[in-house]
Amino acid sequence: MTIEEKKPYTVFGYGSLIFKPPPHVIRQVPGFLKGYVRRFAQKSHDHRGTPENPGRVVTLVHKADWDVFSGSDAFPDEDVVWGIAYTIDPQYESEVRDYLDYREKDGYTIEEIDVWGIEDGREVVVAANCFTYVGLPENPSFIGSEPIDQLAERIWQSVGPSGRNKDYLYELSAAVRKLAPESHDSHLYALETRCRRLDAEHGDAHQN
């Protein structure tokens, strides 16, 4: 099979990939997944925290599974996750796969999904058979549901090699708002509100 005949490698970003895209992108389209939630349910030992003080980063969880793990979700009616589908230049597919495998090494595995969008008021598939990295519940870094105020405190005070955990949250929130007129994430925005309240109470300093 030649490069021209091969199906393009497309990856869906729903976390840091939204505001820090992969290299060698030839096309990108905003869209959403159905039947999932985006939650700060994954420990970050290597990017936004340390092994001794892990931060929290997002993962995808099937809505039905999350309902089991969370007990009572504060945002029960949302089951779509907005992000970006990136199509990679076929010449660099192997390089980008290796790059993403390393970047998402802390407990993430690959799933294949369809990405939806809204065109002329209708929901349509904008990227079929798209790959995405998911921290499944059985991976050792999955922490599940935490009380939202406790989670916000953890995010606010955590720092790792890639920077402050709260900056990850703030950049992600800002990026999701810009994806499309319909893009939204109540859980994300509620955490942002709580962390900014901590900024106001304690000052926007670099935490240790």
Residue pLDDT, tens place only, 98-156: 988 887 776 788 899 999 999 898 999 999 999 998 878 888 888 988 999 999 999 99
Is residue 104 part of the annotated active site? The answer reads yes
Pull the structure tokens for residue 99: 């790059």
Which class does domain 10-202 fall in? alpha beta
Q: What is the pLDDT of residues 44-78, one digit of tens each?
A: 988 899 999 999 999 998 888 888 777 656 676 77
- Using the Cα atoms of residue 116, residue 69, residue 136 and residue 187 in order, give the sign of their dihedral: positive
Residue 78: both structure tokens together: 């949302």
Q: Which of 52, 93, 95, 104 is catalytic?
A: 104
d(CA 54, CA 165): 10
Q: pLDDT tens-digit profile of 34-53?
A: 999 999 999 998 889 999 99
Closest CA to 47 of 109, 105, 96, 95: 105
